[in-house]
Each structure stands twice: as C-alpha cells, then as structure tokens.
Chain A
Amino acid sequence: MKYMIIIYDNAQMRERFSGDAALGAEVDAIIAELTESGELVGGEALADPSQTKTIRVVDGVPAITDGPFAEAKEHLGGYLMVECETPERAADIARRWPSARFAPLEVWPVMSQDGAEM
C-alpha cells in the first residue's frame, strides 16, 4: 500500500533546521533506511510559500494570487511517498521524521486504480 506523508512547515522550523545539523542528519538517515528497504517511492521538499501561486476559477474566470493562505501559521513543506506493508509502519516513519517535533505530518493512503469484482 502506498502512503503519502505530507510534511508541514513553519517559520520557526526553518530556523531550527538551519541551526542544527543533527536534524538534517536524522533526515538523511531515514531516507537511507527507506531506500535500503525498498519502501521509498519518492519525495520532494517544496519552495517557500512566497514562491507559490494559488489558482482558483470562479464562474469561469481564473483568479491567481501569490502564495497560499497568507494568514496560515503552517504550510506545506514537502512530501514523502512510501510503500509500506502496514499503516502502522507508515505512521512510524512520520513519527520519526524530525520535523514532527515542530509541526504536524499527515499520513494519507494513496488511491489505487485497481478494483475487485464487487
């Protein structure tokens, strides 16, 4: 089963990570473990919200604004795509991700195109 682990970010976290090399090393160690186990499917970090556009189409008229919700304290920071045998394993990966100490992560099962005869 594939899971997307959505990693949230906030301004404080960015400061903590840049000032603490050990946190980056923790990330590297988890990525190495997931690569070795064959569970890592993909993952990326996302740019700062100021580089982001929000697009909406209202009554056929597209409206494009800078950034996501400016007032939000937390925003999308990146994601991991993993394939795990159990949801518990996916949650365990998220729990150990160092940013979990500063901002939430979410574990979402990924929909598949397969279907059984009902």
Chain B
Amino acid sequence: VSSGVRVEDQLRALAPQVLGALVRRHPRQFDACEDAVQEALLAATRQWPGEGVPDDPRAWLLTVAGRRLTDAWRSESARRAREEGAAAAEPAHARVAPGADDEAVALAEAPADGDDTLTLLVLCCHPELSPPSQIALTLRAVGGLTTAEIAAAFLVPEATMAQRISRAKARIRATGTRFALPAGEERAARLGAVLHVLYLIFNEGYTASSGARLARAELTGEAIRLARALHAHLPDDGEVAGLLALMLLTDARRPARTGPDGSLVPLAEQDRTRWSREEIAEGIALVTDALARAPLGPYQLQAAIAAVHAEAEDAEATDWRQIVALYRVLERVAPNPMVSLNHAVAVAMVDGPRAGLARLEQLDERLAASHRLVAVRAHLLERAGEADAARAAYREAARRTTSLPERRYLEGRAAALV
C-alpha cells in the first residue's frame, strides 16, 4: 500500500514537468498534449506498482505521452481536425509526429522544473475560463489528478467533469494563447488569478466535512502542494508565501474543527491541543519572513490574522486588538464584505457585543442575503444577553444556509437558548 501511495505522489509531481516539456515541443497542441500526459499517467498507475518504477520515470512518462500524441494524430478524428484547423496555422515541422528520441531531447532542453509549473498554472487559470473550469483544469494539468478523482472531489459525475475540462481546453485553444509567461503588469494580474484558484481549491477541501468526503478533503493537501511548488519557484513573492502560510495555519486547525459526529466546532471552542504544531510553526515562519521583506498584500494579512489565533493558548488569550488592527489594514488593502464582517466580530471581542452589532448595521445592504451576517448577529445578540432575539436570528440563519452542518450547528445554538 505504501509503495502505491508513493507512485501516486511521484506521478503528481512529475505531471507538470512532462506536460511542460511536451507543450514546449508542440506549442499549439496544449489540449492534445494534456490528454496524452493524462493517458501516460494512467498507464503508469497501472504498470508501475506491479512492474516497478522505471529508472528515469520522467523520461518514461514523456516517451509514453509522446507515443499517445502520435497515436492521436494518426487517428481518423485527429487527422480531420488537423485538416480543418491547425494545418494552415502551423509550420510543417510541428505536424511531424514525434518519436521517443525527440521527446528525450525535449526533456533535456527543459528549463528548471518550476518554470513549467508556473507557466502551466498561469495557462490553466486563464481569465477567459470560469472559476470551476480553472480549478478543474489546474488539478488535472498541473496537479496530475485524474478526471475521476476531480469528479469525486467535486461530487459530480465523471462525464460532467470530463466535459468541463475539455471545454476549458477548447477555450484556451480558441484564445490562441502561447505557452509562455506574460510580462510586466499582466504577469502580476495572471499570478493573482493563480493564487485565487489555489485558494478556492483549498477552501473546497477545508470546508468538506470529515469522514465520507475523503476525496474532497484531500483538496487541501493538493492546494498546499501546488502553493509549495509555486513558492519554491518564486521565493521572494510575499503573496505566494502569504497564501502558503494562510493555508498551513488554517489547515492546522482541521483536526479540531469538527466533532467525532462531523458537527462543526467554532474557533472559540476548539481543542487547541489538537492543532498541528508543525503546520503552525511553518506558517508563522513564512508569514513573518514575508511581512518583513515583501510588499504588504491580502494573503499575508490574512495569514497574519490566522497566526495571531494560532499563537493564543486558548480563545480568551487571543490578542484581539492586534486582530482588529490587521483587519483595519486588510479592509483598506482589499475591501470586501466578508472582511468587514470579520472585522466587526473582532471589534466585538475588544469593545463588546454592542459595538459589533453597531458595525453590522452598516453591512446589511452588501450582505443582505448572507446567512453569515445573520449568524454573526445571532452570536453577538447571545453575548449581549438578548436570548429571544438571538434565538430568532439563529433560526433565520439556519433557514438561509445551504450547508447541512451549518444548519445543524445554528439550530443547535437556537435550541440551547430555549
């Protein structure tokens, strides 16, 4: 079993390197290359555990993927597609089917691994794609996950996920995007999109309840792995470090965030001895270093807030004044309603529930439909001693949420006030 796990990890790490080498050789064939790499990964999953891992796993994958690409080109449908579309746009030498030796050359020409991972991430998070498509394509092309694994994580049929991925690739092809990193301001904007997609992948996994949703919960590990690869390539980028730190500091709380029955445990009531000290130490070191030498950004600030929570022995010992100060900066740097809501919670911890409730009054319009606003109001009303109003607010929030664990939690709080 342990060797099987290792093969899987190895394949996921190799996936972007092999895809990068193949795409650099066939720059207009991203979609076909991606399919070929996926098939090579599946072949390795079948063969390696029984026959042993080859001496040069990367060359093995590249050779198999190159052959699959050749096969695809030879097939009837690929030939038709080539006649209709690519033939006019592509120089003749690019259409010659590659042999295994060519692929070995391509591998030798490859830049440092990180270059391809970053270029692929930027490509998969193309602004023309919707967030679900960006996420699915990133997990497959850069993460090396199979369509079946991604479908299981997002709780949709495999055919649905396959369709999303092929549509995303068709759209990238239609934009005529080159396989290269953009420069200047566009590069910064595109990197921002990559960080956002990794953050979304992390959250999908983090909010998954324990137990039955194992495939989904593994998304946090995937997001951390990809953020780590990005950080290794861009060690001086403060926001990349900030995002990785935020993920680690949040993930550290995972063992304590749900009860044995899958029920949600709020931050204030979590058993902090179950937090992962290792992840906390790494996260704090990362964010401390980033804050000291990189321009300030929203991920660093959120990581800094998570670090303040992580450093407190218990909920009472939390340095809420520092959290309020950090939220004040965050609201200026990256204003959004959820930040304002969390700011109000922090203010309530420093100045009392009435001060927090007063702040909520200013938020109503922007967050009118959100169950979170009502849930926060319920908590503050409870702390202010207004049991009837708190109970009504908990019930209102329970009606508005579309999450079963949240509904059970909110109904439980309401019932406890009777």
Residues of chain A having any CB pair with chain B under 8 Å: 1-2, 35-42, 83, 85, 109-118
Contact = CB atoms under 8 A, between A and B. Distances in A.
B243 interface: no
A115 to B, nearest CB: 3
Interface stretch (B37-45, B153-161, B228-236, B328-336): B153-161
Contacts of A114: 204, 207-209, 213, 216, 403, 405
A42 B157 contact: yes
Most buried by B among A1, A110, A115, A116: A115
A111 to B, nearest CB: 5
Contacts of B160: 38-41, 83
A118 B336 CA distance: 18
Contact of A85 (B132, B207, B264): B132
Contact of A113 (B133, B209, B266): B209
Residues of A contacting B: mostly: loop
B203 to A, nearest CB: 9
Contact of B406 (A1, A42, A110, A116): A116
Nearest to A40: B160
Contacts of B92: none
Contacts of A112: 402-404
Interface string B264-303: 1011000000000000000000000000000000000000
Given A1-B402, A2-B155, A114-B204, 17 more contacts: A36-B167, A37-B163, A38-B167, A39-B160, A111-B403, A113-B209, A113-B212, A114-B208, A114-B405, A115-B209, A115-B264, A115-B409, A116-B264, A116-B372, A117-B264, A118-B379, A118-B406
B130 interface: yes
Residues of B contacting A: mostly: helix
A111 B164 contact: no
A113 B405 contact: yes
A59 to B, nearest CB: 26
Nearest to B164: A38
B156 A83 contact: yes
B266 A118 contact: yes
Contacts of B163: 35-38
Interface residues on chain B, size class: 35 or more
Nearest to A37: B167
Contacts of B212: 113
A116 B402 contact: no
Nearest to A114: B207
Contacts of A118: 264, 266, 375, 379, 406, 409-410
A117 B403 contact: no
Given A36-B163, A40-B160, A85-B130, A117 B404 contact: no
A52 to B, nearest CB: 26
Interface in B197-224: 204, 207-209, 212-213, 216
B257 interface: yes
Contacts of A111: 402-404, 407
A115 B406 contact: yes
Contact of B207 (A39, A109, A116): A116
Interface in B367-384: 372, 375, 379
A10 B59 CA distance: 63
Contacts of B208: 113-114
Contacts of B155: 2
22 contacts: A1-B402, A35-B163, A38-B133, A41-B157, A83-B160, A85-B130, A110-B402, A111-B402, A111-B403, A112-B404, A113-B209, A114-B207, A114-B209, A114-B213, A114-B403, A114-B405, A115-B404, A116-B264, A116-B406, A117-B267, A118-B266, A118-B406
B373 to A, nearest CB: 12
B403 A115 contact: yes
